[in-house]
Amino acid sequence: MKEIVFITGATSGIGLACARKFAQAGYRLILTGRNGIRLEEIKTELTAQGSEALTLCFDVRDRQATEEAVASLPAEWNEIDVLINNAGLALGLEPEYEGRFDDWEAMIDTNIKGLLWMTRIIVPGMVARQRGHIINIGSVAGDAAYAGGGVYCATKAAVKALSDGLRIDLAPTPIRVTNLKPGLVETNFSRIRFRGDEERAARVYQGVKPLTGDDIADVALYAAQAPAHVQIAEVLILATHQANATLIARQ
Ligand code: NDP
Ligand code: 8X3
């Protein structure tokens, strides 16, 4: 039986790249996100290439909707082998004392609470089967705060703490936990952070060759396919001219 990967935020960027990469590697795919039209387009693309895919359209901030979506999985789809907790976002870059309450709630509810709901709902089945792997998409932003990024950075520091805590709790089991911490990846991330301001979003990637979603998906797939006794616990993945969250040597 082919392994099943469940990807949150599979409609764009890193999540979409993971969907394509894991599909090529022969996984069955559960693709999730809020954009139902994109989900169906991606399912059509991947099934046309011979992959098996199922879509679930829900908002990870909504615990009840998340529980109902996972509960709706048919029996032949509910033994999840790999959970990729990828759905997430940054909103705004204002100083912490001027930030918007709604932005903070969206980031905390998506990046921390959504990841926790998914973990709490899916990992018990992995424990019962004594098989599974959780890949959380953290960030270099979780290593140290940067100007205007306090709340986003705090959510990614939380992803590290939650990944470490889960790894401790699962140590007696064969289940592995990976925290992938990308730096600059060119996706919709900056467009969303700057509320559709294309020029400002483009400036983030000016003068430097950023990572792509594919670069991150390669590492996720490597971690998932590592031998069973090898746990890729944490990986910091940076563009060559990026040294940390704040130092980028633009050419
Ligand atoms: P994108 O904006 O391209 O993709 C974000 C994905 O998350 C989309 O598929 C979106 O789907 C989904 N998503 C967002 N909010 C929700 C929600 N409430 N419920 C369900 N799905 C949601 O950005 P990236 O691919 O760059 O981001 C993916 C992850 O990578 C995030 O956790 C981000 O913090 C992290 N990251 C990104 C970096 C970068 O430089 N790009 C660097 C380090 C980490 P939909 O709109 O359909 O809901
Ligand atoms: C996204 C990377 O440095 O823009 O997590 O915050 S950064």
CATH of the domain at 92: 3.40.50.720
Atom of ligand 1 nearest to the CA of 210: 40
Instruction: Round to whole Å and give the CA distance between 191 and 90.
Output: 10
Alpha helices in 171-250 (DSSP H): 189-193, 198-203, 213-225
Does any domain span residue 166?
yes
Q: 141 in ligand 2 pocket by Cβ < 6 Å?
A: yes
How far, CA to CA in Å, does 112 sit from each of 1, 23, 29, 129, 133? 32, 27, 23, 26, 18
User: Hey, which of 11, 179, 234 would you mutate to test ligand 1's pocket, going by the most ligand atoms within 8 Å of its Cβ?
Assistant: 11
Does any domain span residue 210?
yes
Give how far the C-alpha of residue 187 lies from the chain's centroid of Cα atoms, to the nearest Å: 13
Average pLDDT by stretches of 10, the chain with 251 residues: 96 99 98 98 98 98 98 98 99 98 98 98 98 99 98 98 99 98 98 98 97 99 98 98 97 94
Taking the whole predicted model, whether its pTM rises above 0.95 is answered as yes
The alpha carbon torsion through 228, 229, 233, 236 (nearest 10 deg) reads -80
pLDDT at residue 122, rounded to an integer: 98
Does any domain span residue 140?
yes
Measured in residues, the chain has a length of 251
The pair of three-digit structure tokens given for residue 77, joined into one six-digit string: 């789809």
Range of the domain at 202: 4-237
Does any domain span residue 248?
no
| Ligand 2 midpoint to CA 141 (Å) | 5
Total domains, the chain? 1
Does any domain span residue 87?
yes
